[in-house]
Amino acid sequence: MPNAGDLLATVEHYRLLGHPTDLQGHIATLGPASLPSAASRGWRQGFVAMVEASGLGGRGGSGFPAAVKLALAQVGGPGGTVVVNAMEGEPASDKDKLLLSRAPHLVLDGAQLLAAATGARCVTLCVPEGRRHVAAAVRSAMGDRVAAACAPVPEVLAHPPDRFIAGEESGLARWLESGRSLPSFRPDKGVALRIGRHGALVHNAETLAHLAMIARTGPEAFRARGLPEDPGTSLVTVSGAVEHPGVVEIERGTPLIDIARRALPTGQPQALLVGGYGGAWVGPEHFATPYASFSLRAIGATAGVGVVVVLGRNACGLAESARLVSYLAGQSAGQCGPCVYGLPAIAADLTGLARGEADPGLLVRLDRRLREVDGRGACRHPDGAVHLARSALHVFAADVTAHAAGAPCEHAGRQMQLRFPEAAPRARP
């Protein structure tokens, strides 16, 4: 195991960002990844125990414990691959792009460690087609690692299409298998993913970077930051009504409003969108909520993919939400009826509401649609849209009452505060 004392003397606190980007500097500062030349059973057991002791939760959206995912993995043997998920289809998230540009070796070290621990024979890093700068940074890093013999198993780069749904892990595995980004219906959680006949272990890029750091510092340094129930640091992209949008590294448990303040809000926020476009709105009464899985769940939100969007005063939360759900509807993989028909219907209801054009039955109908669509897709895509819409009805309840009575929002029709990819086309899956 690595010499934790020496490393912590040079890095002071556990963190992902702020280390040298190039391989030479990476190794000089953090030391080489503690990869065994031939992974013995003892080393593997030690690695599993270390991941378990760290309490690391996945940083790609679900917060699934990394140790459990490792225990379920069936990737040993020829063809087995560790998939680095850097798809980051979430329009408000930049953390994985930043991480691959600033710390590509940390991410790849994490993938190599997992390959050694599981017996996988390959690392496949997925960056969407068209993200040239990120792809170039990764390609250059991979070249350096081959030259310096830092890649015990081959590292390859793949470019799935740039769509919101393409990063859903079963959809990503399917794309690697057949070239189609289609999520699978998986009623039995815990069934290992496969690419054809071979096993696949899919992890978000940030999760892997944490694994690479934890392997160097030991689990205690990771746990020294954040909360006992939800330890470590997290990358969060802050945007919206702020002067300095961007990615910040925060300790788990940091109050939501303090995360927003790191990006200098332009005024008192009206609400925060937490977790991403399939996340939830949080109103001022919950601004002090700690950014941690359990406390966010308690207020009906989720840490999701690490996104905080600040909604300023001069915006209509309902109009923004209608646009959000329309966007999510357009990003459906198009496989499941409740998602294909339900999300556009919910978006239309929200749009009607925001415009002050609600028919008398709208609120009752919308409530029924939200209940009926929830949980009825193969993946969680429609659930995210439903939860977002529900949180909007709750947080902007005063606006709902006013608009339902026929008063359109004074801010509706203004430029939206949330950002969307240009004309997100409903391309082939």
Partner 1 sequence: MIRILVDPVACDAYGYCAELLPEAITLDEWGYPVVDGAPLAPELVSAARRAARDCPRRAITLRERKSGH
Helices 132-147 & 23-30 angle (0-180, nearest 10): 70
Helices (H) and strands (E) in the chain — how many of each? 17, 10
Nearer to partner 1, 282 or 362 (CB): 362
* Given 341, 348, 352, 404, the residue binding partner 1 (CB under 8 A): 341
Report 395-424 residues binding partner 1 (CB under 8 A). none
By CB under 8 A, the count of residues binding partner 1 is 17
> 157 and 135 in contact (C-beta within 8 Å)?
yes
Signed CA dihedral, 251, 190, 297, 164: sign only: positive
State the minimum distance, in angstroms, from the CB of residue 141 to partner 1: 37
Q: Structure tokens of 312?
A: 């300023």
CB of 280 to partner 1, least distance (A): 23
Q: How far is the CB of 162 from partner 1 (least distance, A)?
A: 23
Orientation of helix 23-30 relative to helix 104-118, angle to 10°: 70
* The pair of three-digit structure tokens given for residue 390, joined into one six-digit string: 């529900």
- Taking the complex as a whole, the smallest distance from the CB of residue 350 to partner 1 amounts, in Å, to 17
Q: Can residue 261 be called a binding residue for partner 1 (CB under 8 A)?
A: no
Return the biggest CA–CA distance within the chain.
Answer: 70
In the numeric block, which tokens belong to residue 417? 């505060």
Which is nearest to 325 in space by CA: 298, 306, 353? Answer: 353
Is residue 335 close enough to count as binding partner 1 by CB under 8 A? yes
Report the distance separating Cα 289 and Cα 301, nearest Å: 10
Question: If binding is defined by CB under 8 A, does position 377 make contact with partner 1?
Answer: yes
Nearer to partner 1, 232 or 377 (CB): 377
With contacts defined by CB under 8 A, name the span among 126-134, 302-310, 335-343, 355-363 that binds partner 1. 335-343
User: Which CB sits closer to partner 1, 157 or 345?
Assistant: 345
Pick 242 or 346: Cβ nearer partner 1: 346
Q: How far is the CB of 397 from partner 1 (least distance, A)?
A: 25
Q: Which of the stretches 120-128, 320-328, 371-379, 388-396 binds partner 1 when contact is defined by CB under 8 A?
A: 371-379
DSSP state letters, 312-360: -TTS-HHHHHHHHHHHHHHT--S--HHHHHHHHHHHHHHHHHHTT---T
Q: Which residues contact 359 (CB under 8 A, 6 or more apart)?
A: 352
Q: How far is the CB of 332 from partner 1 (least distance, A)?
A: 12
Which residue lies nearer to partner 1 by CB, 42 or 187? 187
- Taking CB under 8 A as the criterion, the residue among 261, 376, 380, 394 binding partner 1 is 376
Which residue number, 73 or 182, has a Cβ lying nearer to partner 1?
A: 182
Which of these segments, 71-79, 310-318, 337-345, 405-413, binds partner 1 (CB under 8 A)? 337-345
- Confirm or reject binding of residue 342 to partner 1 (CB under 8 A): yes
- Site for partner 1 contains 336 (CB under 8 A): yes
Give the x/- contact pattern for partner 1 in 183-212, rule: CB under 8 A. -xx-x-------------------------
Q: Give which of 125, 146, 115 is closest to 47, Cα–Cα.
A: 115
Amino acid at 122: C
Of the ranges 42-50, 190-198, 258-266, 333-341, which one interacts with partner 1 (CB under 8 A)? Answer: 333-341
- With CB under 8 A as the contact rule, the residue among 18, 78, 337, 421 that binds partner 1 is 337
- Residue 196 vs 337, nearer CB to partner 1: 337
Closer CB to partner 1, 158 or 340, in the complex: 340
Q: How many beta carbons lie within 10 A of that of residue 261, not counting itself?
A: 14
Distances (CA, A) of 392 to 56, 134, 410: 31, 34, 17
For the window 145-184, what string marks contact with partner 1 as x by the rule CB under 8 A? -------------------------------------x-x
DSSP conformation letters of 45-72: HHHHHHHHHHT-B-SSSS--BHHHHHHH
Angle, in degrees to the nearest 10, between helices 4-11 and 23-30: 110
Using an 8 Å Cβ cutoff, are 120 and 201 in contact? yes
Rounded to whole angstroms, the Cα distance separating 86 from 83 reads 9
Task: Specify the stretch interacting with partner 1 by CB under 8 A; choose among 229-237, 238-246, 248-256, 340-348.
Answer: 340-348
Nearer to partner 1, 336 or 418 (CB): 336
Q: Are strands 81-85 and 198-204 parallel, antiparallel or unpaired?
A: parallel
- Binding residues vs partner 1 (CB under 8 A): 182, 184-185, 187, 335-339, 341-342, 345, 369, 372, 376-378
